Amino acid sequence: MRDDPTTLYHTIRSCRICREAPLGPPLPIEPNPVLAISPTARLVIAGQAPGNLADKTTKPFNDPSGVRLRDWLGIGPDVFYDPTRVAIVPMGFCFPGYDGKGGDLPPRKECRATWHERVMRAMPQVELVLAIGLYAQRFHIAGGGARTLTETVADWRNILAGEGRFAQVLPLPHPSWRNNAWLKRHPWFAAELLPELKRRVADLV
């Protein structure tokens, strides 16, 4: 039976599985699942996991990465944060904490195992998933395999023309400043992929 998105959202918001029944060490902070789903959004943004600021504000992409992402999409905060038009479904719903080098830990495995099939099947109206980073790409791209992020994003035309697990998929790098060098090394991303991304987003929202 398909879940009602609104009911499922509230269920996930109260989830504590990564503290009470973790796969490995428990989440080092209090769980605060950050996501946006609805029965009408035709676009899904599937990132890695909320960052520290998103955790503190319960607002996804509430940082400079979000500013760049919205520029890539060609939309403002009013559309981006409207769940009736844009669903935001990171591979981990809670900020996972920091690793020993000060970077974010990987998204929690419990989220994908427990929720992601249910979330995506609760939104059959979704037409396009923007898969940001390898964790999202390996989940959403049918036969995602073990290719690198660069190989995956460079193959965006074939991936977009193929079948995703739940909808069409367009792979993207993370919009973090940490990827500035990657963006400079791959000018085709801005010249070829971003215009198509903006066009498709405009059609969907």
Give the CATH number for residue 98: 3.40.470.10
Question: pTM of the predicted model, to two decimals?
Answer: 0.95
Q: Which of 121, 171, 116 lies closest to 141 in space, CA to CA?
A: 171
Residue pair 36/88 in contact by the 8 Å Cβ criterion? yes
Q: Give alpha helix (H) positions in 16-58.
A: 17-20, 52-57
Report the alpha-carbon distance of residue 124 to residue 102 in Å, rounded: 38
Q: Which of 105, 184, 169, 99 lies closest to 136 in space, CA to CA?
A: 169
Q: Which of 64, 37, 67 lies closest to 52 in space, CA to CA?
A: 64
Structural domain total, the chain: 1
Report the alpha-carbon distance of residue 200 to residue 177 in Å, rounded: 24
**β pairing state of 86-88 and 168-172:** unpaired
pLDDT of residue 145: 67
Low-confidence ranges of the chain (pLDDT < 70): 145-146
- Joined together, the tokens standing for residue 74 give 């060609």
Residue pair 27/20 in contact by the 8 Å Cβ criterion? no
Q: What is the DSSP secondary structure assignment for residue 104, as one 8-state letter?
A: B
pLDDT of residue 103: 81
Q: Buried (b) or exposed (e) across 6-15, using 16+ Cβ within 10 A?
A: eebbeebeeb
Report the alpha-carbon distance of residue 53 to residue 28 in Å, rounded: 16
Q: Which domain holds residue 163?
A: 5-204
pLDDT digits (tens, 9 = 90+) for 141-182: 988 766 899 999 999 999 999 988 999 999 999 998 889 999
